[in-house]
Copies of this chain bind each other. A is one copy, B any other.
Amino acid sequence: MATIKDIANRLGISVSTVSKGLNGASDISESLRQAVLDTAVELGYTTKQMRGKVQKKLCIFVENMDYETPEEFGYDIILGFRQAAYHEHYDITVTPVTPLFQSTQKYDTYMLRNGYVGAFMIGFALQDDWMTQFNDTDIPTVLLDNYIKKNPAVSYIGTDSFEGIDDAIVHLMQMGHSRIALINGSRNSMISEQRRQAYIDGMTAHGLSFSEETMPYGYYVADAAKDHVSNLLSMGITAILCCNDLMASGVIAECRKRGFRVPEDVSVIGFDDLPISAQLVPPLTTIRQDRLVLGKCGFYSLHSLINHVPISRTMLRPQLIVRKSTGTAAIQDDSL
């Protein structure tokens, strides 16, 4: 169990300042108080007072997503959710679920039996068993990156792919690129369809050419680069958008293997901005999803549903982080 001293050490402030933050004293700034509370959540610090309170129970279900260390995609999402929930005295459980688990446990039954009043689902795919059960559940449920139609108990949160991909296309055009490809994620996913449409809309809006061949699916694995990079380069593509940073790292390696320099010959853009992406060679230009904010937003949406505000979707702004994997196009030519 973390102590006040641990929080003080992490923030580099005195124990008495931490105390003030935890107790809501008025002589420290609001932003410092928030930092104290956020760090308390991250380190798992709880006060006697908190432990004594009757708490409502929420569950975060994680399917097919890593979240154990700060480098992994799910870590900050879960942390953000817990930080936002801290102020409202909810008790949070994180439960990994497999397809097998879903096929043997009915969602509503599992929630009721465990006394959960709401849930946040991350990493679920369209074919998951529970996805069909969300059509009819009465239990407040928020899905990251999945949308359920017409059920007022269920809400969707995600990052706005349309703005993110348009930002990336504009950035590339400003450096003379017109032959831009998209390596998408998995086929069986709402987000992949959204990003595919965002690419089509963006390319169309800016008068650029594209085809089925310029928007292949890469299933979020680095190895996808092997299947697609050669074909894309032979078509004269000068810039490749990838739907996660891992695929972008694979594309950079594959380009190098084939004697193409990044960004001199080919520009590469990722999606997510994982902590490691700034350390790639070259450091990766990427469309940032703020995962801490996604987690907070997941909690706010769930809290709204629990309070009978039937939000159907909440979208967050992405942010294009420009590093060194994008540069001026070698060939400037508008015909694809």
The answer to whether A310 has its CB under 8 Å from any CB of chain B is: yes
| A137 nearest CB across to chain B (Å) | 14
B310→A312 contact, CB < 8 A: no
Bound-state CA distance A300–B290 (Å) is 19
| Given A150-B163, A163-B149: A311 in contact with B316 (beta carbons within 8 A) | yes
B163→A317 contact, CB < 8 A: no
Contact residues of A between 274 and 299, Cβ < 8 Å to B? 290, 293, 296-297
The answer to whether A304 has its CB under 8 Å from any CB of chain B is: yes
Identical copies of this chain, number: 2
Chain A, interface residues (CB within 8 Å), range: 20 to 34
The residue in chain B whose Cβ has the minimal distance to the Cβ of A304 is B300
| Given A150-B163, A297-B304, A304-B300: A315 in contact with B309 (beta carbons within 8 A) | no
Contact check: which of B160, B163, B311 meets A297 at CB < 8 Å? Answer: B311
| A67 nearest CB across to chain B (Å) | 20
Of residues A293, A297, A309, A315, which shows the largest number of chain B Cβ atoms within 10 Å of its Cβ? A309
The answer to whether A209 has its CB under 8 Å from any CB of chain B is: no
Please, which residues of chain B bring their CB within 8 A of the CB of A316? 309-312
A317→B167 contact, CB < 8 A: no
| A296 nearest CB across to chain B (Å) | 6
Please, which residues of chain B bring their CB within 8 A of the CB of A140? none
The answer to whether A57 has its CB under 8 Å from any CB of chain B is: no
Please, which residues of chain B bring their CB within 8 A of the CB of A308? 293
Interface residues of A (CB under 8 A from B): 149-150, 152, 160, 163, 167, 290, 293, 296-297, 300, 304, 308-317, 319
16 further contact pairs, Cβ within 8 A, besides A150-B163, A300-B300, A314-B315:
A150-B167, A150-B317, A152-B319, A160-B312, A160-B313, A296-B304, A296-B309, A297-B304, A297-B309, A300-B304, A310-B316, A311-B314, A312-B316, A312-B317, A313-B315, A314-B314
